[in-house]
Chain A
Amino acid sequence: MTSPTSFDLKARLVAILGEKFGLPEDEVLSGATFDELDIDSLVLVELSLILRKELGVDLAEGDLDSSFRIDDAVAAVEAKRAMV
């Protein structure tokens, strides 16, 4: 069950990955892991910094893992948001 908030968050994550890192939306939504999307290790660090600024979530190095799919990343950010 996806809450409206996490739906918005997922859309925002997909948009950032497209705009900032050139990842096609259909590939991000395909259920592929970040590893399988062939991003380099700094992209998740950069993504964490953008989300920290936009959402005020305190994402540490390693909170977003390259084994994650987009839904895992949304869940990780939601968990951090719940702690704020």
Chain B
Amino acid sequence: MSRAAVLCGLGGWVPAKAVANSTLAEQLDTTDEWIRTRTGIRQRFVIDPGQATSDLAVEAGRRALESARRTREHGGADGGPAPDVDLVVLATSTPDHPCPATAPVVAHRLGLAPVAAFDVGAVCTGFVYALATAASMVTAGLARRALVIGADTFSTILDPADRTTRAIFGDGAGAVVLRAGRPDEPGALLGFDLGSDGGGEELITVRAGGSRQRSTGAPAPEGDEWFSMRGREVFTQAVLCMSRSAEALLDGIGWRGEELDRMVAHQANVRILRAVGEQLGLAEDRLVVNLDRVGNTVAGSIPLALADAAASGGLRPGQRVLLTGFGGGLTWGSAALRWPELHVEPVPGLEGDEPAAAPDTHP
């Protein structure tokens, strides 16, 4: 029997400070209704001054490792002997520093050093890319057990005066543990579809701060240090790329769209999620939605939504689950698995606040 990477642990984390729409409305020319109807978002979380992406990644990672330990104890998806994690892959586009990567310090703080550790950058698709990378390394025998984290702190790169991006993005992290196993086990990653189109680089970007601007020797033009996004074009591309990627993967692994129990798409905007559902012919109850309470947490988004849904009963063992993401690059990617038995703790700050099946965007 061939070897596969199997999901055996899951955790999520958001910082302590929640920012409600009403708070943004006090600071910017916007309203709670405008934000809710355009995006479905009610609140987002932001880090405190001095905090960094690794702080969120460490907490999410710790919880995923604990989830794997408890799952194993309860004889769930991880019933075998327990080799230690020997690989950490972190998806982020807001690293603690421009150099070095953030994954090594995350591994160190989790007590996992001297394991292999590196960052993967694919913006909002980062987690799917990191998952594919780690799963491939597990399958190839380069790692036995991998911690895969998606974490971002976009609050640190948003223009404080930009009412649109500040409404959409929040800080957060999620993590999974993968182990070597068999392709016919629940939790086995059954396939991936990945793609990119650098012709769309300008749609989602921070113009300054990299080698292109720094090599000029001149200060960055005003505003270029902040994140920018061409919203309506991104909306269209996000829907088309995620739908096509999902269809390609479903086709590749032999699942029909109507057999899908849950789609966990990158939590960009509830109207994007609905439009993807529409393109794929999925009923709305198949869509996992938690962006109403966390906003768009970039690379953290998919694993944070997974942890939130798994802890609140929105994902159940045996379900056919599709993950799909889209982000800057442009990049996109999808993965599929049957949901395993997992012990997952509620995400602190989100517990007891049930995910809204369908936030109302039509007042």
Of B20-28, B44-52, B230-238, the one contacting chain A is B230-238
Task: Provide the main secondary structure of the chain A interface.
Answer: helix
Shortest beta-carbon distance from B268 to chain A in Å: 12
B side interface size, CB within 8 A: 13
Known: A41-B232, A42-B232, A61-B232. A49 touches B362 (CB 8 A): no
A50 CA to B240 CA in the complex, in Å? 11
Q: Is the CB of A45 within 8 A of B235?
A: yes
Check B362–A22 contact: CB distance below 8 A. yes
A52 to B: closest C-beta gap in Å: 8
Per-position binary interface string of chain A over residues 10-43, scored 1 when its CB falls under 8 Å from any chain B CB and 0 otherwise: 0000000000011000000000000000001110
Q: Contacts of B233 on A, CB cut-off 8 Å?
A: 61
A48 with B279, Cβ < 8 A, contacts A22-B362, A40-B38, A42-B38 known: no
**Chain B min CB distance to A54 (Å):** 10
**Are A49 and B240 closer than 8 Å at their CB atoms?**
yes
In the bound complex, do residue B232 and residue A49 qualify as a contact, i.e. CB atoms below 8 Å apart?
Answer: no
Enumerate A38-65 residues with CB–CB distance to B below 8 Å.
40-42, 45-46, 48-50, 52-53, 60-61
Residue of A nearest to B274 (CB): A46
Contact present for A40 and B362 (CB under 8 Å): no
Interface string of B271-296 (1 = CB under 8 A from A): 10001001100000000000000000
Complex Cα spacing A58 to B262, Å: 29
* CB-defined contacts of B236 to chain A, threshold 8 Å: 45, 48-49, 60-61
Chain B residues closer than 8 Å to A45, beta-carbon distance: 232, 235-236
Interface string of A65-81 (1 = CB under 8 A from B): 00000000000000000
Q: How far is the CB of B219 from chain A (nearest CB, A)?
A: 33
List, in ascending order, chain A residues with CB within 8 A of B279's CB: 49, 53
Chain A residues with Cβ under 8 A from B239's Cβ? Answer: 49
Say yes or no: is B136 at the interface (Cβ < 8 Å to chain A). no
B37 sits at the interface (CB 8 A) = yes
Contact of A40 among B37, B240, B275, B278 (CB under 8 A): B37
Q: 9 A-B Cβ contacts within 8 A?
A: A21-B362, A41-B232, A42-B38, A45-B232, A46-B275, A49-B236, A50-B278, A61-B232, A61-B236
Binding site for B on A (CB under 8 A): 21-22, 40-42, 45-46, 48-50, 52-53, 60-61
